[in-house]
Structure 1
Amino acid sequence: MTDDDSAGTAAADRADWLAVRAHLRLNRHQLSISARHCYGGAPTVEDTALLTRPEWLPERPLEMDAVRTEWDDTPASPGRDAALRRVAQDSGLLPRRDDVGRFPSYSAAMRELARPAVFEDRFTYQLRHADLTGGPDRSCMRFGAGSYFDGIDLGEACAHEYAASVMRLGRATPRHAAPPRATPLRDALGGPCRPDDRPSNLAVATLVLRHDPATGHACFPLHWRDPAKVGQAGGLYMVVPVGIFQPAGTGPHSRVNDFSVWRCVLREFAEELLGEPEDPGTAEPIDYGTWPVAARLDRERTRRRIRTYVLGMGTDALTLATDLLTVMVIDAELWDELARRMSGTNAEGRLVTTGETEAPRLFRFDEAEIHRLVTELPLETAGAALLRLAWRHRRDLLG
C-alpha cells in the first residue's frame, strides 16, 4: 500500500466515524429509548429508559443533606481500564488517525474531529457505590478519583458503537427492536448499573419547581443542550440545572471544599440560570460565604424558602451516564425575584423561553403536561425519569 493509499484509507475511516457521530447526534433521543432493549428485564425508573437498581430508589424523597457522601481512596484497576481501551481499539470503534494507527481513545478522536465548545478533561468525583434506601441515617454515596474523559471514552464510545450497529442493520432509530449484536465494548462493560465495575462519573440533575404556597401550583423551566457546545446529550431537552459532580477548581483544596451535592447544584444553578461563571474567578477554593449568589441561596435554604431533595439515581441505556435525580423547590416570590436576572443563553445551550423575551418559559407541573413533554419532546432520559418520579412524590415535595 502506498502512502497515498494509506492516507486515503485513514481519511475514509474518519469520514465514516463522523457519519456515525452525526447519526448519533441527530437520533440520540430514539437511540436512547431503543438501547433499553440491550438490557432485557433490567429495572427502570418510572417506565422510562433510565435503568436503575432497587437500592437506588428510596421509597420517599430524602432531604439532600441526609445523603452522606464518603471518600474512597482505593485506586481504580489499571488493568481493567487498559482492557476496555484494547476492546475499543480492536473492535474498530476508533477511527484511524493516519497510516500509523488509530486514535488512542474516543475523547482524542472527538477532540480532533468533532470537538464541542465545552470539552475539558477535569477531575471528577467518580461514583463507586450508592445506597439510597437506608433512610436519612444510612443513605450514602461513595466516590473515588476520576476524570471527565472517562465518561467520554466509555459511555459516549458505547453510544457511538450502538449507533453504528443500528446503521449497519439499516434501521435509523428502532424504537422497539431487538438489540444490535455488534457491540463488543458495551458487552465488555457488563451490567449498566455497576459503578464498582467501571469508571462511572455522576451527573446531578435537578428539577427546579417554582411553588406558590398560597395556591399549591408549581411549574418548572427546561433547557436545550446545544450539540455544538456540549460533549454529551447534545440536541436534547433537559431539566435545569445539570452538572457533573466535580470541584470547581483544579487544586486539592477545591476537591475537599466542593465535595458536596448541594454545592454542585448551587454552582450549576448560578451558571445555567443566573449567568454566573461556575468558578467565580479565583484560583483558591470558592468561599461560599462571600460569593453573593452562594451566600444568598444558602441563606434562603436555611430559611426553607429553598428545599432540596434526592429522589433516586439511574443510568442512561445508551451512554451509560449515571444521574442523581434531585429536586429544588423554590417559593414563588423568591423565584420571581431571581428570574429577573435570568438569561436565555448560557455556555451549554439555552433555556426554553416564551419567545417574546429572554425570560424562561415555565411548564405546568401537572400530569398532563409531564406526559406531553415525556412523549412528544426529545427529552433526555434522566429528565423524563425525574419528571415522572417527582410527580409520583408531589405530595412529599410540595407539602
Structure 2
Amino acid sequence: MTTVSPDGGTTGTETGISRTTSELAWLRARGELKRQRFELALQAAREYPRSAQVVGTPLVAAQRWIPAEPLPLSAVTIELTADLKGEANPGMVTGRGPGSEDVRPVDSGGRRYPGYTAAMAALDRPAMFVDLPTYRLHDADLSLPGGRGAMTFGLGRYFDGIDVGEACAHEFAAGPDRTLRRAVGEPWDLRRRPANLAVCTLTIRLDRTAGAAGETGKATMLLHRRDPTKVGHAGGLLQVVPAGIFQPSGPAEWNLRNDFDLWRAITREYSEELLGTAEEYGSDRQPIDYGAWPFAASLAQARRDGGVRISVLGLGVDPLTFATDLLTVAVFEAPVFDALFAGLVATNAEGSVFAGIPFTERTVERLLRDEPVQAAGAALVALAWRHRDILLS
C-alpha cells in the first residue's frame, strides 16, 4: 500500500516498515555509498591536486603534515585548549544547517532529520553508534625544525564529524550536487569543519631470527576488515589495526585530562581490537590508572625497553568522508609481540583481524593496487614501506 507522505511524495515499505519517499531515497543513496565506498573515495581523490595526495594514495594532506622522516611519538607534543566547551567556530560547517537538506530526509511527521546521524540512527543504525566526547583537532604541524611535531585540540562530539563527513560522502554517492562539500572547502582547513582525529597504527611484528635460507628481519603486519553492519564509518574496507577516534574513555570530566595522551589512546585500542576486550574501563567511577592496568603497564615497559618502537609518519584526510587520521607505526620485536598478544583475536567488535601478512614489496604493491584499503591505511602502509630501513633497523 502507498499513501501520500508529508513531503508530498508517496510512502513505501522496506522490511515491513513504512518509509517516506524522502527516506527511501536516502536509503538508496546510503546503500550506494556502502557498496561503492572504495571506488567513490578514488573518485573523490581526483577532485584534489595530485600534489596533495600522500605518496600516490587517495589520502590528502597539507604539506606540513607529512614529515620528511618518521618522528618518535614522544617528539609530537599535544595541547588541549583552555576552552573545553567544544563549541563550533563561527562559520563552521555543521551538517545541520542550510545546504545540508539533501542529506537529511523528511520523516513521516513531515520533519527533516536534524542531522545525518539522526537519520542513520533511525534508518540504518550500526551496532556501534554512540555520541561520546572527542578531542577535536584544531591545528597540526608535523614538520617543525629539529624533527618535532605539535598538535592542538579542543573538545567535540563523535557525531559532529559524522554529521559533516559521512553526510558529504552520502552527497557524493547520491549525485552531482556538491553543495555541502563545497561549503567544507579544502579538507586540510580545520577551521571549516569539526575534525575528530583518529589514531591509526600499522602494527609490524619483526622476527630477527635466521630463517631456513639464512634470512633475518622477517616482518609481518596486521590488517582489519571493518564490518559495515558494526561501524558507522568505512565499513567493508581494509584498515590498519588498531585504529580509533582520539577521545576520552568515558564522559566523566576527570577523563578529559587523564586520557589526553596519544600513547594511552593507542594502548586502549590495542586492548580492544587485538585482544577483544570491552570498552569498559570503570572510568565512569574514577580515572583509569594506567600504571596499575597490567596490559598497559606491560606495553609501556616494552616501549621503554625498546621492544616496541612507535613512530608518527604523518596526518591526512580521507577525500570522501573527510575523516582525519594520525598515521603511526608500531614495530614490535617478535618475542614481545607474542607475549603481549598471546590472546590475539580473529574477530572483534568492529570486524575481522588478519595477522601474519608479509611486509614485503610484493605484498605492499598488491595491497595498494588491488585491495579496497581505506585511504589512511593505504597511505600508512606506503609511507612505512618508504621508511622501512629506518623503521626496521
TM above 0.5: yes
Contact 2:303 2:309 in 1 (8 A): yes
Equivalent residue, structure 2, for 1:366? 360
Equivalent residue, structure 2, for 1:312? 314
Equivalent residue, structure 1, for 2:352? 350
Equivalent residue, structure 2, for 1:211? 206
Q: Distance in 2 between matches of 1:51 and 1:213?
A: 35
Q: Against the structure 1 CA distance between its residues 100 and 81, is the aligned structure 2 distance closer, same or farther, given a 3 Å change threshold? A: farther
Counterpart amino acid of 2:392? Answer: L
CA displacement at 1:335 relative to structure 2: 1.5
Map 1:34-113 → 2, pairs under 5 A: 34-41=43-50, 43-74=52-83, 76-77=87-88, 79-81=90-92, 84-90=95-101, 92-113=102-123
Equivalent residue, structure 2, for 1:251? 252
Q: Does 1:32 align with 2:41?
A: yes
Counterpart amino acid of 2:113? Answer: F
Equivalent residue, structure 2, for 1:13? 22
Contact 2:132 2:250 in 1 (8 A): no
SS at match of 2:68: coil
Counterpart amino acid of 1:398? Answer: L
Q: Distance in 1 between matches of 2:366 and 2:260?
A: 36
Equivalent residue, structure 2, for 1:386? 380
SS at match of 1:24: helix
CA displacement at 1:370 relative to structure 2: 0.5
SS at match of 2:312: strand
Bigger fraction of residues in helix: 1
Equivalent residue, structure 1, for 2:213? none
Q: Distance in 2 between matches of 1:40 and 1:58?
A: 19
Q: Does 1:323 align with 2:325?
A: yes
Equivalent residue, structure 2, for 1:226? 227
Q: Does 1:115 align with 2:125?
A: yes
- Deviation digits for residues 273-297 of structure 1, max 9, x if unmatched? 0122233334211100111110110
SS at match of 2:137: strand
Contact 1:280 1:291 in 2 (8 A): no
Equivalent residue, structure 1, for 2:194? 199
Contact 2:325 2:376 in 1 (8 A): yes
Counterpart amino acid of 1:98? Answer: S
Taking every aligned residue pair, what percent have the same amino acid on both sides? 45
Counterpart amino acid of 1:225? Answer: R
CA displacement at 1:84 relative to structure 2: 4.7
Map 1:291-310 → 2, pairs under 5 A: 291-310=293-312
Equivalent residue, structure 1, for 2:159? 149
Counterpart amino acid of 1:382? Answer: A
SS at match of 1:85: coil
- Deviation digits for residues 323-368 of structure 1, max 9, x if unmatched? 000001100111222342111111111112xxxxxxxx31111111
Q: Distance in 2 between matches of 1:205 and 1:183?
A: 28
Bigger fraction of residues in strand: 2
Q: Does 1:139 align with 2:142?
A: no
Counterpart amino acid of 1:207? Answer: L
RMSD: 1.9
What TM-score do you get using the length of structure 1 for normalisation?
0.90
Equivalent residue, structure 2, for 1:281? 282
Q: Distance in 1 between matches of 2:145 and 2:207?
A: 28
Q: Distance in 2 between matches of 1:42 and 1:18?
A: 35
Q: Distance in 2 between matches of 1:82 and 1:316?
A: 17
Contact 1:127 1:202 in 2 (8 A): yes
Q: Distance in 2 between matches of 1:5 and 1:278?
A: 41
- Deviation digits for residues 188-241 of structure 1, max 9, x if unmatched? 111111112221010000000101234112111111100111000001111100
Equivalent residue, structure 1, for 2:139? 129
Contact 1:268 1:278 in 2 (8 A): no
Deviates more, 1:194-203 or 1:3-12: 3-12
SS at match of 1:252: coil
CA displacement at 1:12 relative to structure 2: 1.4
Question: When the two structures are aligned, how many residues end up with a matched partner?
Answer: 374
Counterpart amino acid of 1:116? Answer: P
What TM-score do you get using the length of structure 2 for normalisation?
0.91
Deviates more, 1:264-273 or 1:34-43: 34-43
Q: Distance in 2 between matches of 1:121 and 1:277?
A: 17
Equivalent residue, structure 2, for 1:172? none
CA displacement at 1:89 relative to structure 2: 3.9
CA displacement at 1:42 relative to structure 2: 5.0
CA displacement at 1:37 relative to structure 2: 1.8
Q: Which runs of 5+ in 2 are unaligned?
A: 12-18, 210-215
Q: Which runs of 4+ in 1 moved over 6 A?
A: none
Contact 2:94 2:194 in 1 (8 A): no
Q: Distance in 2 between matches of 1:118 and 1:292?
A: 27
SS at match of 1:87: coil
